[in-house]
Amino acid sequence: MDASSVMYYVLLIIHFLFLAYSFLVLLSYGILAIFSRKETISYLRKNSFVNYKDILSSELAPGISIIAPAYNESLNIVENVRSLLSAHYANYDVIIVNDGSTDDSLDRLIKAYNLEKVEYLINERIKTKPIRAGVFKSKNPAFEKLIVVDKENGGKADALNVGLNISKNDYVACIDVDCLLMEDSLQKMIKPFLEYTDRRVIASGGVIRIANSCIIEDGKLMDVNYPKITLVRLQILEYLRSFLLGRMAWSKLNGLLVISGAFGMFDKNIAIKVGGYNTKTVGEDMEIVVRMRRYMEEQKIEYKVAYIPDPLCWTEAPENYKTFISQRNRWTRGTIETLKEHRVIGFNPKYRVLGMLSFPYWFLFERMAPIVEVLGIIYFTLLLFVRNIQWDYALGFFLAAYFSSVIYTLLAVFSEEFTFHQYKKKGEGFQLVLSAFIEPLLLHPVVLYAAVKGNIDYYFNKNLKWGEMKRKGLTNK
Amino acid sequence: MVPPLLINSFFEDFPSIVIIVWVLAIVFFFVLISLVFFLKVVRFRLRKEELFVETQSKKYEENIVDYLYSNENSHELNSAQKEIIDKLKLSLVRSLDRKIFINTLLKLKGEVSGNMITVINQLYKDLGLATQAQSKLHSKKWHIIAIGIRDLRRFKVLEAQDEVAKCINHSKMEVRRQAYLYFINLFGFKGLDFLDELKSSISIWDQIGILDALQGMETQEVPDVRKWLSSENDYVVLFTLELVKAYNLRETQKELLLLIKHENKEIRLKTIRLLNYLYIIEAKQVLINTYENLTIKEKIAVFELLENIGVEVREEGAFVLKHINSKVFEIKVLALKILKQIDISKFIGLKNETNVLANLKVINYLENNP
């Protein structure tokens, strides 16, 4: 066999590897869409028999601590805390962890909620940065649910760990302080923990929705609007796809690896047993879920990570590309760190669905996707220079990929329409479809760029941490 | 229209894999166009359905109000009522209409009182809806069965009790829950007899629903629950413990003390907490005697009980003192707290004796906080 034949076969193998990868991506999306449909129908059916009012007055309602870390949130912190305090649930408290803010967040909270410093016995089961100004509670009985902890800066994970140490309840809802929680969100999130008798529910995650352009008054969502800014519109589709198709399907398979850091509820004892949030990663939300699951598998305890598809938590999405890229860069680094930290799980039958399905999927189609895609682009560019491209072949591949991508997004839109139907105004359907068509062309390249940057930063810029996320705030003034 | 010959010549030299990809692209394109079209239809239909529900609800509400007020004094149906029933029967052919009608009926049921509620329940039966709901109990689909039981419960159809009883141990928890609620809503505390037949589980969520339903009952005559405290089904025992707590059933004391040695640790923990809640002093010695065999959670619960009920220095003082250096934070705090209550000088003396910072923190905290 001469050199040119060898080269021919090498190229052929490369082509087929790319093809096989694309086919597997397409196949996995199709399978996820089917599972998602099944799970959505099942959820809606089950939910139609639920009366959430029962739990409001019940003495059996378990205690929940909402833990919200805050760093330099002075602008909106008073309103955000008010929103958290207005949840419809009988037995909960709100722990705001001021993570070494350098602005006047603490002063504003003290003033607004009439706080006073109290002695508080903390069982430091998880090592954290020390308390700075102390623990504060309100003198006003109307705010008796509020606990404010001021500590030295240690990052979001460290602040959440302080909350875990302080909480006296069995369940903790970890949220971003600037998120808007629906009034019934705690009732819905706690339900899975109370309804399973054959397994222990260790965590439940909710859908995160984008609140930009929505009307919010006094910490309450009044009206949902489809935003005008293209970047935000495209992110809405991404979120719909991720939450209503991807996570819904993984929930059916009991294979969820991530619960959004913006809003998730955990069994506190398990969270503490595994050591709380990992302060050494920027993907602490994914990492803790993987660690908790790993612990349950190793202990051979039947468990579930539940998922609630209702729109329970609304957050502000980045409105400019710089912030967006920084956010996605962090998500990529978080994924790499978590998968690396728990690599022993991958393809390990001891970990059942986690090891044989969830982990390999995340590795192949989340971790490796940007790398494969970039390699594909480089290879294509090389081909452009060294030999003639068969454009009629290439066009076929491009169209198949593009159309399948839009179809998958439209399936997410359908799921939204048949379930929660949030974008019901006239014209918004057209805007959703239009966004679905332009998203692969406009947003995906940016997501890819951010992921590549995340990979580079992970390997060559180890000191990079969270990065700044500039927010305008959700409250309409 | 593209001539077939042209298509053939376009694909002529293509490898089969490329042909497949092109075929896929074309199929995807048509799927995409259909989806866009379908989405438009769906959105239009949803909007139309919303309007339809609104108008039909209003229409049915008027019909029901006419029915209710056309004959307030007699139990016999008059001609106007018969006419309304006939009219309604004709319009309740579609399942969506039935759904809207039932929702409207329920809404009105919530707004009226006394005899009107009975009339509404009777209207439900007269329209044949009760028979339809009963027939749902034979469905192979779990959600249809659950809908059937739910509607029979909401409109108090007693005749279905034998059929519903068969669903008590259904494999789907939603069906079981509806069956439990049917018996409670229709028979009150007497309905709890389903616990005798229960082989499957009752989740905490179920318990919340059942207790809420019980608390809504007009008569609050709690039956003797002691037999369920010795049930072979652990879930029945767990639920009964909740009943004991909700209704302060102190007469179950003897059975509760026996449950401290139950095999199921969840039952043991709940029992200890309940003994604490009911302030049963006799539990102290029993718990101290079995203390070493308990789980950490149970041990914490024991100390909570001792703190709440109180400790006699001569009888339990030594036991408490033994645990002031416990490795379990909660036990250490509770033991020190109790020590402060029973022997303040010993408690203050500990400050000089201990050189462990963590212990000193706890002692200082307890010293300043009652």
Q: What is the pLDDT of residues A245-266, one digit of tens each?
A: 999 999 999 999 999 999 999 9
> pLDDT value at position A37?
96
User: Are B173 and B181 a contacting pair, CB within 8 Å?
Assistant: no
The single residue listed with the structure tokens 């870390």 is A69
Q: Do B209 and A54 touch (CB under 8 A)?
A: yes
Q: Which residues 387-406 of A have a C-beta within 8 angstroms of B?
A: 392-393, 396-397, 399-400, 403-404, 406
> Which of A403, A405, A414, A431 should one mutate to test binding to chain B, selecting the residue with the greatest count of B CBs within 10 A?
A403
Q: Do B22 and A396 touch (CB under 8 A)?
A: yes
Residues contacting residue A146 through CB under 8 Å, at least 6 positions apart: A81, A85, A93, A94, A96, A113, A115, A137, A138
For residue A221, list its beta bridge partners: A216
Query: How far apart (Å, rounded) are the C-alpha atoms in residues A105 and A84?
Result: 16
> pLDDT value at position A470?
60
DSSP string, A196-254: -SSSEEEEEEEEEEE-TT-EEETTEEEE----SSHHHHHHHHHHHIIIIIIIHHHHHTT
Q: Which residue of B has its CA nearest to A57?
A: B212
Q: Do B203 and A61 touch (CB under 8 A)?
A: no
- Determine how many CB atoms are found less than 10 A away from the CB of residue A133: 14
Chain A residues in contact with B24 by the CB 8 A cut-off are 400, 404
Q: Do A399 and B28 touch (CB under 8 A)?
A: yes
Two structure tokens written together for B314: 């001569």
The DSSP 8-state label assigned to residue A63 in this structure reads: P
Q: Which residue of B has its CA nearest to A408?
A: B32
CA angle A204, A55, A113 (to 5 degrees): 80
Query: Which tens digits make up the pLDDT trace of A126-159?
Result: 999 999 999 999 999 999 999 999 999 999 999 9
Q: What's the average model confidence in pLDDT over A403-421? A: 96
> pLDDT value at position A475?
61
> pLDDT value at position B120?
93
Q: Do B46 and A198 touch (CB under 8 A)?
A: no
CA distances A17 to A4, A344, A443, B16, B231, Å, are 20, 25, 26, 17, 61
Q: Do B35 and A19 touch (CB under 8 A)?
A: no
- A5 Cβ under 8 Å from any chain B Cβ: no
Q: Is A68 exposed, middle or buried (0-12, 13-18, 19+ CB in 10 A)?
A: buried
Tell me the pLDDT band of A413, cut-offs 50, 70 and 90.
very high
> pLDDT value at position A321?
96
CA distances B57 to A359, B85, B242, Å, are 50, 16, 40
Distance from CA of A442 to the nearest CA of B (A): 19
pLDDT reading at A35 higher than 90 = yes
Q: Do A417 and B39 touch (CB under 8 A)?
A: yes
What is the average pLDDT value for chain A, to the nearest integer?
Answer: 93
Chain B residues in contact with A410 by the CB 8 A cut-off are 32, 35-36, 39
Type of residue numbered A402: Y
- A119 Cβ under 8 Å from any chain B Cβ: yes
> pLDDT value at position A455?
96
Residues contacting residue A416 through CB under 8 Å, at least 6 positions apart: A240, A244, A422, A423
Query: Which tens digits make up the pLDDT trace of A90-109?
Result: 899 999 999 999 999 999 99
- A198 Cβ under 8 Å from any chain B Cβ: yes
> pLDDT value at position A198?
94
Q: What's the average model confidence in pLDDT over A38-57? A: 92
DSSP SS3 for A260: coil
The pLDDT tens digits along chain B (370 residues) read 555 656 666 667 788 888 999 999 999 999 999 999 999 999 999 999 999 999 999 999 999 999 888 876 666 777 888 889 999 999 898 999 999 999 999 999 999 888 889 999 999 999 999 999 999 999 999 999 999 999 999 999 999 999 999 999 999 999 999 999 999 999 999 999 999 999 999 999 999 999 999 998 888 889 999 999 999 999 999 999 999 999 999 999 999 999 999 999 999 999 999 999 999 999 999 999 999 999 999 999 999 999 999 988 887 889 999 999 899 999 999 999 999 999 898 888 887 777 777 778 889 899 888 7
Of the candidates A359, A360, A365, the residue with the CA atom closest to the CA atom of residue A286: A359
pLDDT reading at A472 higher than 80 = no
pLDDT reading at A463 higher than 80 = no
- Determine how many CB atoms are found less than 10 A away from the CB of residue B162: 7
* Termini Cα distance of chain A: 75
Q: Do A429 and B40 touch (CB under 8 A)?
A: yes
Two structure tokens written together for B238: 């767990």
User: Are B247 and B274 a contacting pair, CB within 8 Å?
Assistant: no
Query: How far apart (Å, rounded) are the C-alpha atoms in residues A11 and A33?
Result: 33
For residue A65, list its beta bridge partners: A93, A172
DSSP SS3 for A108: helix
> pLDDT value at position A477?
45
Distance from CA of A420 to the nearest CA of B (A): 11
Q: What's the average model confidence in pLDDT over A7-31? A: 92
